[in-house]
Amino acid sequence: MVSDVLELLSDLVKIPSVCGQESAIAHYISDWLDKNNMSVENMEVKPERPNVIVVMQGEEAGPSVLLNGHMDTVEVGRDWVRDPFGAAVEEGRMYGRGSIDMKAGLACILWVAAALREEGLPRRGKLVLAAVVDEESIARGAYALVQSGLCKDVDFAMVPEPTGLKVVTAHRGRAVFDVQVHGKAAHSSRPEEGVNAIEKAGVLLNALPRIRGPHHPIIGDATINTLKIEGGQDAVMLVPDQCRLLIDRCLVPGYTTNAALHDLRQLINEIGIDAEAKLPVRETPFCEPFEIPNNEPHLKIIMKGATQVLGKSPEIGFHPWPCDSCILVNQGRIPTIEFGPAGSGLHQADEYVQLDSVKKTAAVYHRIMRDIFS
């Protein structure tokens, strides 16, 4: 008999799995799935950083569904009152690093896969279950999953990010722009003979609020934030000839990374400084925003199952920050919808998940998958 979903969640929370150190939790999940009679594939993304994959194939033709959750968490950080790996339960909440982001959701889809196996499902179609690494960094795990071809025939995906029992269909994306501002070196005693790159960077910083992306009726506006500025020397009497900025954009559907880069370059031209803006080199694409249309047929299936379990139609919501869903939609071309539990403290001290919402999340996924695969 498959274990209780809260027992599984407690076990996951007790295993440290900071991004880049997912080996221990991946081994636990592999063993747990094996004990529940599922054939496991460990897809090495980086050394000692495997995605854990299960493919459950029915005997008859039918829909193909991906359930995707990430194993990694952010660092523990400071100011915790409770043990971040203690999985303490108080007043209906479980506390611990990753409890809401997103070991609760991950526990739900693992538990549902085991329950389906016990019930002899899927009878038709195919379920792909993926526990992936690196979501808290640059989504290497989700990108490797897409690149592997395992999801090429998937009809739709569900991701149990913490949505507060809302069905999430729209998503902000994210891009970071590397801006190199050029000046002209000169002796500090004669600054008029040079061009101070730091001062020119300041002109750009003051002008950034002039950038306006499109307004999204649900999500609102794209955001802009300066992550870093560096340039100059500590002791040398020199007018700095270089200054570097990192600028962070959270993008709304309809406003792509390329469009945002174009707007930044246009602003640089308008204010008349010598600067270059580009995307930093990285192993995976930046996360483009997306929006699943309301007439998406799989959304109707999800809404029906959630309504049956919750006793009311769930609210349609949006996700204000990027996650693996952006990779699944934009690189995998997989319609992806999120549904997950409620809690608080994401990336903060004393993170927690509400346990009643975990049970409801597991029940919703179970109902939806049974309806699809029976």
336 φ/ψ sector (left φ>0, alpha ψ -120 to 50, else beta):
beta
Domain ranges of the chain: 5-171+289-373, 173-278
pLDDT of residue 2: 64
Same fold, 5-171+289-373 and 173-278: no
- Integer CA distances (angstroms), 281 to 38, 46, 139, 170, 261, in order: 38, 18, 14, 27, 14
The fourth-level CATH superfamily of domain 5-171+289-373 is Zn peptidases (3.40.630.10)
Give the pair of three-digit tokens for residue 17. Answer: 């799995």
CATH of 173-278, one of 3.30.70.360, 3.40.80.10, 3.30.160.60, 3.90.580.10: 3.30.70.360
Going residue by residue through the chain (374 aa), what tens digit of pLDDT does each one get? 467 999 999 999 999 999 999 999 999 999 999 999 999 999 999 999 999 999 999 999 999 999 999 999 999 999 999 999 999 999 999 999 999 999 999 999 999 999 999 999 999 999 999 999 999 999 999 999 999 999 999 999 999 999 999 999 999 999 999 999 999 999 999 999 999 999 999 999 999 999 988 899 989 999 999 999 999 988 789 999 999 999 999 999 999 999 999 999 999 999 999 999 999 999 999 999 999 999 999 999 999 999 999 999 999 999 988 999 999 999 999 999 999 999 999 999 999 999 999 999 999 999 999 999 99
Burial label for 7, CB within 10 Å (0-12, 13-18, 19+), is exposed
Specify the residue for token string 């050029």.
182
C-alpha distance across the termini of the chain, in Å:
20
| Counts of helices then strands in the chain (DSSP H, E) | 9, 17
pLDDT of residue 171: 94
Contact status, residue 32 vs residue 129, Cβ threshold 8 Å:
no
pLDDT of residue 234: 85
Residue 122 preceded by cis peptide, ω within 30:
yes
Which residues, including other chains, have CB under 8 Å from residue 65's CB and lie 6 or more apart? Answer: 125, 126, 127, 128, 154, 155, 156, 157, 158, 369, 372
